Structure 1
Amino acid sequence: MLVHDASFQGASGGMPRFIEDPAIRVSDIRFAVDYLQSLPFVDAGRIGAIGVCGGGAYTVRTGITDHRIKALASITGVNYGRLIREGFADFKPLEFIENMVKMRTAEAQGGARHMVDLLPASIEAARQSGTTDIDVLEATEYYKTACGRQPGSATSQLMSFSSAAMGWDAFLNAETLLTQPLLVVIGSKPGAFGAYRDGWEIYGRAASRRKEIVVAEGWSHYDLYDKPEPVAIAMAKVVPFFKETL
């Protein structure tokens, strides 16, 4: 198994830090496949991919046009292009684009980088601000505590470089080009990040002859990260899925 940090994130290199560019994310996965195929003990005809959250949709996007990936699993996958156009842009995408243009122009002329923390500083801060959405609260609880915090990781994003995501769709051409076996796992509790919606969308759009969607009843997006019971629901499907398709 190969697990990598995305370029500009975590332990991976790249400057400036915290760029979230879907095209680069997809390219990272392609390079991971390149590397796996170079290893003498890897069967190039049996490479599968699993992605979680944004990684779920990035994995799908890669598989649509890179059929070296023979089977795909998206766990609570989120279409980042849709999310940034909607929730992150406060449903004002044109205004958001204009703001990013101004930021990047100012930075190119020597101004300070516009690094934005996408989450409240703590659960207490989130509640004090009136936040009630399950995804925001659970993401804060996960990433702002020892549970999900890792050295070199952050919940920040260089927003001035995010215009590349505004016109991006993780599922573009899935109706014709996504033919590999596909497994989608989502929780039944929908939140603002949209994994429930996106899961059903890609399940419906994929041309895959073999495709399955698993809804973990009573569980949320972040429950599927590390809560034993919902993870067990997912793995009970993921493990035999890859055994049968690879």
Structure 2
Amino acid sequence: MLATPGSGVKDHINANDVTRHAERGFVTLICDPSFQIKSGGEQRDSNEPLVRVEDIRAAVDASVTRPFVSEERIGLPGSGHAANGALVGHCFKDVGPIVGGNIGGTLRRMLGPAKVFETLAKVGRHQIAGAKVAERHCQPWIPASMKYANAAGIKVDQLLSAVAFYRGSAYRHPRSTGRLLSTNFGGLLGFDAFHLGSTAVHHRRQEALRDRTIRGWRCTVRRLADRTGQISRD
């Protein structure tokens, strides 16, 4: 099961990964996020991270009803949403983020505290305005073309490469808008893909320590039993 990144199109972004997994004998499932591309739902272009996590849960539900799917061997490569889905839903044998970014943490660091709350205030205004006039306000994930990227003064090579590939090359998908609702920034800024990460690590350490203690105790008991038997024989 593969989870696409933000505004990702299943038809080409993860096509190579799907093919490679299928060639190795894995049952592979990939789907467009809710409200995007070929998936249904309104409002279009919505990209709420918790809904993305719920998409993953729905995909699990659909998969385990198939007789050829082993529920004990479900893996989840994908985005930071995949990591979050695995942390809150313990039905995966393994998880391997392909683009394992924490979108909420990244945005908060990029903007800084003052800008974060300024953005949240703007989100609130868009929310109220949209409710009154039933009109949505969208923003691009990335500039719509290299022309806009250059006009914005963008110098980050990785971002420019993304614009060139996703918005300006033959690989641009006709169904991909590259946009999200402005109100989605509220959910994005409040999202933490790895909020249970430290708790999970602590839990695993405690389990490992407990198992080590139990193994040590069993070894001690066996040694004592062996010594007791030797003393009795003597």
How high is the TM-score relative to the length of structure 1?
0.66
- Identity value in percent: 31
For the 8 Å contact 1:10–1:151, the answer to whether it is kept is no
Q: Which residue of 1 aligns with 2:222?
A: none
**CA displacement, residues 138-176 of structure 1 (integer Å, 9 cap, x when unaligned):** 110121124442232121110123312222100011123
| Correspondence for 2:85 among 53, 62, 75 | 62
**CA displacement, residues 193-238 of structure 1 (integer Å, 9 cap, x when unaligned):** xxxxxxxxxxxx99599xxxxxxxxxxxxxxxxxxxxxxxxxxxxx
Quick one: distance in 2 between partners of 1:50 and 1:118?
Answer: 22
| Correspondence for 2:184 among 153, 158, 161 | 161
Gaps of 5+ in 2: 1-27, 208-234
Compared CA separation, residues 14 and 206, structure 1 to 2 (3 A): farther
Quick one: distance in 2 between partners of 1:206 and 1:169?
Answer: 19
How high is the TM-score relative to the length of structure 2?
0.69
Q: Which has the larger radius of gyration?
A: 2
Q: Which residue of 2 aligns with 1:197?
A: none
Q: Which residue of 2 aligns with 1:87?
A: 110
Q: Which residue of 2 aligns with 1:29?
A: 56
Quick one: distance in 2 between partners of 1:34 and 1:89?
Answer: 39
Once superposed, which parts of structure 1, at least 4 consecutive aligned residues long, lie more than 4 Å away?
Answer: 88-91, 205-209
- Summarize the alignment of residues 35-46 of structure 1 with structure 2, pairs less than 5 Å apart: 35-46=62-73
| Correspondence for 1:19 among 42, 46, 51 | 46
Gaps of 5+ in 1: 179-204, 210-246
- Quote the RMSD (CA, aligned, Å): 2.4
Quick one: distance in 2 between partners of 1:142 and 1:91?
Answer: 33
Q: Report the alpha carbon displacement of residue 15 of structure 1 after superposing the two structures with TM.
A: 0.5
Q: Which residue of 2 aligns with 1:121?
A: 144
The structure with the greater share of residues assigned to strand is 1
For the 8 Å contact 2:146–2:168, the answer to whether it is kept is no
> Which one-letter code corresponds to 1:18 in the other structure?
D
- Number of residue equivalences: 179
For the 8 Å contact 1:174–1:207, the answer to whether it is kept is no
